[in-house]
Amino acid sequence: MKHGIYLLLITATTLVLSGGCKKDEPAAAVDLGHAYFPSTIGSWIEYHVDSMRVVGQAVSEWSYDIREVLTENFNDLEGRPAQRIIRYTRDSSGMWQPKDVWWQTRDMVRAERSEENMRRVKLVFPPRYSSFWNTNATNTSEPFELTYDEVDIPWSVNNLSFDSTVLVIGTYETNVVNSKIYMERYAKNVGMVYREVDSSETQGTIDRWKVVYTATSFGQ
């Protein structure tokens, strides 16, 4: 009996010691969602753009194509790594002509773009449904709050399929006088693949502006 108890103690001790000496498994890398905002030079996206402007009874509509290319790394005025974006429009002959230059930067917690000299916070990391941020935190415009409405969701458009996307929307509460719809969808390793902004004011003269960007092609 004593011999059996002794063997049990030896076995238990061996198991404890072997468990204690087992090397820790390497921690899995945490996905912060940075791939939703690529920064690789040479990356490009093409969009078809539909725009509409309504002032009173006058309605103007036009469509065009945009190509955005990350062309160069540089440091912004705060010393942060950034990328220069050259934007092109397609002329009547089908050739791409330079339109303007924007830039972007991304750190561990957020992504910014300077669009027509207006810096905006486009995304915050990691993407979560509980995240809220002011897209105008880096400029002097009135605060406008954004949040994630969809996270890591498959999505398709124009025969393009994306395994994982996030949808950013504005939280502005619309009413019978003023309305502002804002949404941008980003795909992993691609960037923004859809954008819709629809702003209207009906007090007095009707004033409405709407623009929709839809990705048609992308690459590196």
What pLDDT, in 10s, does the model give residues 29-74?
788 999 999 999 999 999 999 999 999 889 999 999 999 999 999 9
* pLDDT tier for residue 20 given thresholds of 50, 70 and 90: very low
CA contacts within 13 A on the Cβ side of 39: 18
The topology under which CATH files domain 34-219 is YmcC-like fold (2.40.360)
Place of tokens 């103690």: 9
Looking at residues 82-104, what average pLDDT do you find?
A: 96
Residue pair 48/35 in contact (Cβ under 8 Å)? The answer is: no
pLDDT at 17: 42
* pLDDT tier for residue 206 given thresholds of 50, 70 and 90: confident
Looking at residues 174-200, what average pLDDT do you find?
A: 93
Which residues have C-beta within 8 Å of that of residue 93, sequence separation ≥ 6?
none
- Please, is 169 exposed, middle or buried when counting C-beta atoms within 10 Å of its C-beta (0-12, 13-18, 19+)? middle
pLDDT at 200: 86
128 vs 176, more confident: 128
Percent of the chain with pLDDT strictly greater than 70 = 87
Neighbour-count burial for 76-110, b at 16+ CB within 10 Å, e otherwise? eeeeeebbbbbbbeeeeeeebeeeeebbbbbeeeb
* pLDDT tier for residue 10 given thresholds of 50, 70 and 90: very low
Computed over every residue of the chain, the mean pLDDT equals: 89
Looking at residues 185-209, what average pLDDT do you find?
A: 91
Task: Identify any residues that bridge with 153 across adjacent strands, giving them in sequence order.
Answer: 165
pLDDT at 26: 60
| Domain extents in the chain | 34-219
205 vs 187, more confident: 187
Q: Which of 142, 209, 135 is nearest to 170 (CA)?
A: 135
47: number of Cβ within 10 Å: 22
177 vs 147, more confident: 147
Give strand ranges (E) for the chain.
44-55, 58-75, 81-90, 96-106, 110-115, 118-124, 132-134, 145-157, 160-170, 178-187, 191-201, 207-219
Instruction: Check whether 16 has a pLDDT greater than 70.
Output: no
Amino acid letter, 42: G
Predicted TM-score (pTM) above 0.95? no
Residue pair 89/97 in contact (Cβ under 8 Å)? The answer is: yes
**Token reading at 113:** 């773009």
